[in-house]
Amino acid sequence: MSTNKLVTEKIKLWGIVQGVGFRPFVAKIADRLGMKGEVLNIGGLVEITVTDEPRQIDAFVRTIEEEKPAPAEIVHIKRSRQPVQEFSGFTILDSGYGDDEAAMIPADLAICPQCQKELRDPDNPRYRHPFISCMICGPRYTIIDRIPYDRDNTTMIDFPMCDFCEGEYTNLHDRRYHAQTISCHNCGPVLSMSVEEGAALLKAGEVIAFKSMGGYNLLCDPLNDRAVEKLREIKKREQKPFAVMFRDLQQIREFCYVSETEERLLSSSARPILLLEHRPSDSKEINRSRFIGSFLPSMGAQYLLLDQISPLIVTSANLSEMPIIKDDEEMEAMMRRQPLIKGSISNKRRIQVRVDDSVARVIDGQPQMIRRSKGYAPVPLYVNTDFDGQILAVGGQLKNSFALTKGPFVYMSQYFGDMDSVENQRIYEEQIDRMGGLFRIQPQLAVCDLHPLYYTTAYGEKTGLPLLRVQHHHAHVASVMAEHDLKGPVIGVSFDGTGYGTDGAIWGGEFLLCEGGEFERIDHLRYVKMLGGDSSMKEGWKSAVSYLVAWENGYADEKEGLAVDLSEIMEFAGTQKERSWQGEELARKAISAGINTIQSSSMGRLFDGVAALLGIKDRNDYEGQCAIMLEDAAADPAPGRAGKLARDFHHRIAKLILNTCEEIRKERGVSQVALTGGVFQNKILMEESLELLRKHGFSPYYNISVSPNDGGIALGQAYIALKKKEAGYGD
């Protein structure tokens, strides 16, 4: 090779390129192609320097893109010529700490198929090692202390490698070459209780604790009613269904209907809890709802336990709506308070960040996030923007997650839940500081909700940053626009339970026209005088009484806003002589007198009210229960009168969406539609609305990577701020 043809290039790669075996992968490609140079992690990116002929470097980069490890994602590549350097071979250098444009940290990765095979191979040195992992699997975000992602920067620093593991770690041709979580029976964490002991307790109908990647879980046998009762007593969770972990896909198929798309999602490295329609079952717990949260193990220790007993209820170790426990001392304290927890399968690997399991479903044939957390956070989303500043979007009050932006990258946090508790608020503030430090983000602007009483609004004010206040339902629509990079005006259909409106009313049944960072309210569900206070969110019968009073006072004949024909439902409700809502008379008087009431266009409250009027459910014992049971009734293959009316109600709402969008298209010429908000977690409503809109020439979009509920609000807030900054906001 003639030396005058040689050039040296520096190649920078942004994306999920740390913690996924990327540097060893690059070294192997270089070895295969006879390339000379070096590779290192610097900050949160990978930097490669190579010397060769230009066409060979082109082939090298192309091969990296085409053959990258399964969990890796390359978001951006930047190549630049350098003065020619000579290299004797190709080397992996120690990581650097340079200030980079957009650091990225990998999410936690479930155990890969090869490690699963080794886990069960008696001839393998890691046979039955509970913490088996390799370059492309194992904990990442939950154990990282700082970037770059190296063992010394994670909680694995507490477990020095033995000679055997170090030999694999330094062997270029080994699949654990530079695998930061590498360990074995000799040097890795050990379980505090054997899986056999834990399984014996579970088989005896007891509840035990289990330390997972992102925090402690509580486990019990879902087929043992007494065991489930104990768990509900511990959690103070009377009715909300629990998620169930199965040992493999075959067992999931025995309990649930599973499509190919759902199987792929269940088996993905994120291992989300997936909402699946279950088959007929004798289990009281599995029959609690039409859908069951189903998932597969994500670590070797879980597989070993489920080899002994499966399926298992696996739920976060906490009281309902409190943060998941991550520290050993916290779990020990809970066990002292809760003697019904009879044992704990723990270990000494510290959890740096508490992260709940993600929840997803397949809707319209596409995976959709319901709760974006473990396996996804803090992987950034890419937003098409020219603004290169840094923004903090604080999110909403319920199902909270926040977002930090750096140029076009939006770093979504894990799920925090509702922000009413002081403990959740403390963890939330800690994580904002932590993520800002990890990604070297110093926000110049904060974005919050319009609601003056939200904790997150107060936090935004407390930052001292310039503060942009964004309307709740506008943020919902903007989250869809961000995900799909929608250009031009969009009809935003935003249906949920509550959101502070620009007129001081409670919105929730909104048709908005959105473009860039701006919106116009085009139409909305007709206002109803709704009983206020937190209790009205839980007590569906109060929504029912509000609609009964409105109906009696001419709701159907009013001109402003969109009305749903409830005549058959009201007629049915009038025939239910056995109906008895304690407090109905007092509620009617309060509504008539305007005491503790507020004008509301909430679609979520309408769903609750209809569930109560049809005698299906009149109180939310957990969030969304009335609406969930209304959907279940609508899906009943052999419905009674209430079920038929429930199905008809869903159809009427879908027709309302179509008709209103047609009116807006007629006036404004807009055919793009974004469907978003918690109400669109209703599978029947979403899929029927999509079918009708497509049939009539619309292009409907919906959330995929973030939740349509308030967990996606922060993305919408960030998008609106980015678009406003592009337009000169604050200049």
Q: Which of 32, 41, 62, 151 is catalytic?
A: 41
Alpha helix segments (H runs only) across 488-533: none
For residue 500, CA distances in Å to 471, 496, 503, 507, 599 come to 7, 11, 8, 6, 11
Residue 110 identity (one-letter amino acid): A
Beta bridge partners of 599: 529
Q: Choose among 379, 453, 473: nearest CA to 20.
A: 379
The Cα 337–Cα 331 span in angstroms is 10
- Annotation marks residue 665 as catalytic: no
Residue 119 identity (one-letter amino acid): L
The Cα 7–Cα 681 span in angstroms is 54
395 HSE (CA, 13 A, CB side): 28
Q: Choose among 363, 234, 221: nearest CA to 291.
A: 363
Return the structure tokens found at 365: 């044939």
Alpha helix segments (H runs only) across 553-624: 567-575, 584-593, 603-613
User: Is the distance from CB of 677 to CB of 476 less than 8 angstroms?
Assistant: yes
- Annotation marks residue 709 as catalytic: no
Return all residues near 75 (Cβ < 8 A) that are at least 6 apart. Answer: 14, 15, 102, 104, 380, 382, 409
Question: Exposure of 281 by Cβ count < 10 A (0-12 exposed, 13-18 middle, 19+ buried)?
Answer: middle
For residue 519, CA distances in Å to 164, 449, 478 come to 61, 15, 10
Q: Choose among 327, 309, 308, 306: nearest CA to 317.
A: 327
Q: Cα angle at 157 between 156 and 161, to 5 degrees?
A: 80
Annotate 97-120 with DSSP letters as a single string: ----S----PPPBPPPHHHHHHHT
User: Is the distance from CB of 282 to CB of 333 less than 8 angstroms?
Assistant: no
The Cα 345–Cα 301 span in angstroms is 9
Which DSSP letter does residue 525 get?
B
What dihedral do alpha carbons 409, 410, 415, 421 form, nearest 10°? 140
User: Is the distance from CB of 269 to CB of 71 less than 8 angstroms?
Assistant: yes
Q: Which of 23, 140, 151, 232 is catalytic?
A: 23
User: Is the distance from CB of 274 to CB of 363 less than 8 angstroms?
Assistant: no
User: Is the distance from CB of 275 to CB of 360 less than 8 angstroms?
Assistant: yes
Q: What residues are labeled active site? A: 23, 41
